[in-house]
């Protein structure tokens, strides 16, 4: 009998295909595991409604379950809605290391988009940066440039 903790630990190692340094556990995309009769149900939640990585993540979780000889399926849940606050501190550190500025602050739901005072450059650490576009290479990121080292970088948006 494989314990829930073991299942969570194993499937939690599945990485985000868009940001391969982050696992779905780091991201908070992995929500939990439960049992329905003999079947194990792993629940995951998308970062954005249209996140194209979800199909692959679902598939990888399924493969991980198979490798553990666990009879299970993957369920996608939307509520409660994912927020960048679920990202682990370890995940944020890995993001910075990878060259992506981690999310900061939080947004009031239903309210306007908040404007951060500054986003620190993940490459040289300078706070002197400029937002180039609020939309970046994927839904979850915006595009910035550092005015000190002149490198462009992605920032994981607060959601």
Partner 1 sequence: MSDLFVYTLRLGDDALIAAQRTAEWIAAAPQLEEDVALGNIGLDQLGQARSLLQYAGSLEGADRSEDDLAYFRDERDFLNLQLCELPNGDFAFAMARLLYFATYQQLLYDELRAAADETLAGVAGKAVKEVAYHVDHATQWVLRLGDGTDESHRRMQAGLDALWPYTAEMFESDELVRRLAVAVDPSTLRDEWERRVYAVIDESTCSRSEASYQHTGGRSGRHTEHMGYLLAELQHVARSHPGATW
Provide the binding-site residues for partner 1, judged by CB under 8 A: 46, 48-52, 77-83, 107, 109-113, 132-139, 143, 157, 159
Contacts of 106 (CB under 8 A, 6+ apart): 83, 84, 85, 158
Q: Residue 39 Cβ, how far from partner 1 at the closest point, in Å? A: 20
Min separation Cβ 135 and partner 1, Å: 4
CB 82 → partner 1: shortest distance, Å?
7
Calculate the alpha carbon distances from 79 to 4, 31, 70 in Å. 22, 10, 26
Residue 27 Rama label (left phi>0; alpha psi -120 to 50; beta): alpha
Ramachandran class of 56: left when φ > 0, alpha when ψ lies in -120 to 50, beta otherwise = alpha
- Which CB atom, from 15 or from 47, has the smaller least distance to partner 1? 47
Nearest CB to partner 1, comparing residues 83 and 88: 83
Q: Residue 37, exposed/middle/buried by CB under 10 A (0-12, 13-18, 19+)?
A: exposed
C-beta of 83 vs 126, nearer to partner 1: 83
CB of 118 to partner 1, least distance (A): 18
Residue 124 or 159 with smaller CB distance to partner 1:
159
Please, which residue, 2 or 130, has the CB nearer to partner 1? 130
Q: How far is the CB of 45 from partner 1 (least distance, A)?
A: 8
């Amino acid at each position: 009998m494989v314990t829930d903790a073991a299942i969570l630990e194993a499937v939690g190692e599945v990485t985000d295909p868009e940001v391969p340094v982050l696992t779905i556990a780091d991201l908070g995309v992995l929500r939990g595991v439960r049992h329905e009769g003999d079947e194990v149900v792993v629940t995951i939640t998308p970062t954005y409604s249209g996140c194209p990585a979800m199909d692959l993540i679902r598939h990888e979780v399924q493969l991980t379950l198979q490798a553990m000889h666990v009879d299970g399926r993957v369920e996608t849940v939307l509520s409660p809605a994912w927020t960048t606050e679920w990202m682990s501190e370890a995940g944020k550190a890995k993001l910075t290391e990878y060259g992506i500025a981690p999310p900061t602050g939080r947004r009031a739901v239903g309210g306007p988009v908040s404007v951060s005072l500054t986003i620190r450059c993940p490459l040289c650490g300078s706070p002197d940066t400029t937002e180039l576009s609020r939309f970046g290479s994927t839904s979850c990121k915006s595009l910035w440039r550092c005015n000190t080292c002149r490198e462009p970088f992605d920032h994981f948006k607060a959601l």
